[in-house]
A and B are shown apart, each in its own frame.
Chain A
Amino acid sequence: MIWSKYSAPQAFYPLAGRLIPWFSVVAVALIGVGLYMGFFVAPTDFQQGEAYRIIFVHVPAAWMSMFLYVVMAVWAGVGLGLNARLSFMMAQAIAPTGAMFTFLALLTGAMWGKPTWGAWWVWDARLTSELILLFQYAGVMLLRTSIDDLRRADRSSAVFSLVGVVNVPIIYFSVQWWNTLHQGASVSMSTGSKMAATMLTAMLLMTLAFWLYSVAVILSRVRCIIVERESLPVWEEQPTVVQKVAEVR
């Protein structure tokens, strides 16, 4: 089985190394195209003027922040269920990127809120839930670093991320539940999109770009974690890095 072969960190390390350039290059290209479409091709919004253009970063970042939390929880669950080391390493690698996107969504949301709502921050349900998502990412990372025993750190933070996943649907449905200031979703599966086609294309391109970027960054981080954790002999390529780590140890 090819999958079980790559579940070993030693086998996954070179595979990740080969995949990273592809994901990085496509991510950079798509970010270029997406931003060009968002800033120059997409029409000006008749209500919000030019300020709306931040959604080309804001909405993909917010989507990624939630998506990555779920992916992290899935890896954590796989790790707990199958007792696979690589799954825990993936969960560990995803957390900082997810937290970064959560912060980016909050930051761009504030930058959009100031001209549109007249306030940097309002206690709207979706903003608040996104802030809580950031706290949860912080909790996962803090719990991991507080526990010295690696095995327990892996498993405990996995349990916590699974518990926190209950919060992600609450974030998603909070708009309907509390019905506050944040505008309702502009894109929905059932009724189709309410935006111009170019806007939607730019936004989806940016989402795809952020996803590819996440994959590239997470794979590089997983490689670092593998080198850090498994004090193994040099496998291939970049022998200097591995040797240096071994020397430091």
Chain B
Amino acid sequence: MSRSSMWEAVGGIVRRDLLLAMRRRSDAAMSVFFLVIVVSLFPLGVGPEPAVLRTIGPGVLWVAALLACLLSLARVFTADYVDGTLEQMVLVPQPLAVLVVGKVFAHWVISGLPIVVLSPLLGLQFGLSGESLGVLVMSLLLGTPTLSMIGTIGAALVLGVRGSGLLVALLVLPLYVPVLIFGAGAVTSSMAGIGGEANLSLLGACLVLSLFLAPWATAVALRIALE
């Protein structure tokens, strides 16, 4: 099979998923609203002390991003599974793992990218300063695709299983821990004046590793689910 037809298939999947998301904009807006609300709840719970908020800010933003990404995971495959599109995707000559990359990329554009774009605003709420805001955006830009990558493995594993919403959280959240540590660590260390480069590099490494392994694992899980 030629390489161009593979890219065409991936492009087709990305276009289709983005188009579907555009037709139902409220779905994508929901996870962003969720993020904003969760982040805004923390000052109400912890108190408005600026020093405290600045300390917990990176962690809170990252945990909220994690949860927002988790909530949108159910949408990646469920509709395609129900209407049979997924079975057609398994049957096409292009490798399933490559098509999965298209699905993951679309998921990231719909649910990850808005988080990245919105994060400086939320960072300001927690009193983060100029350079840390930049590191926050960079860390989310590197980290959220990894979250989508890992998350889709879980989404594929629990496809059509009862109680899948809660189950996917239990499966995926432990796997998110390294990304959370490096992501929040990058912002914290840049605030401490040591610079976030080391943690950002580790985030990049996580992204490369997940890009290499996750689509393949997702493809295996999808085949199992569709057997």
Residues of A within 8 A of B (CB): 80, 128, 132, 135-136, 138-139, 142-143, 146-147, 151-152, 155-156, 159-160, 162-164, 166-167, 170, 178
Contact = CB atoms under 8 A, between A and B. Distances in A.
Residue of A135, A138, A151, A163 with most partner-chain B CB within 10 A: A163
A132 B174 contact: yes
Residue of A135, A138, A159 with most partner-chain B CB within 10 A: A159
21 contacts: A80-B220, A132-B177, A135-B170, A135-B173, A135-B174, A139-B170, A143-B157, A143-B171, A146-B162, A146-B163, A146-B167, A147-B161, A152-B224, A152-B227, A155-B224, A159-B217, A159-B224, A160-B153, A160-B157, A164-B174, A167-B175
| Chain B residues touching A, majority SS | helix
Contacts of B181: 178
Contact of B170 (A138, A147, A156): A138
Contacts, number: 59
B221 A146 contact: no
B161 A160 contact: no
Interface in B27-43: none
A141 to B, nearest CB: 10
B171 A160 contact: yes
Nearest to A170: B178
Interface residues of B, number: 24
B167 A163 contact: no
Contacts of A164: 174-175
Given A146-B158, A163-B153, A156 B174 contact: no
Contacts of A151: 227
Contacts of B209: 166
Contact of A139 (B162, B174, B177): B174
Contacts of A128: 177
Given A80-B220, A159-B217, A160-B157, 8 more contacts: A135-B170, A139-B170, A142-B167, A142-B170, A162-B217, A163-B153, A164-B175, A167-B177
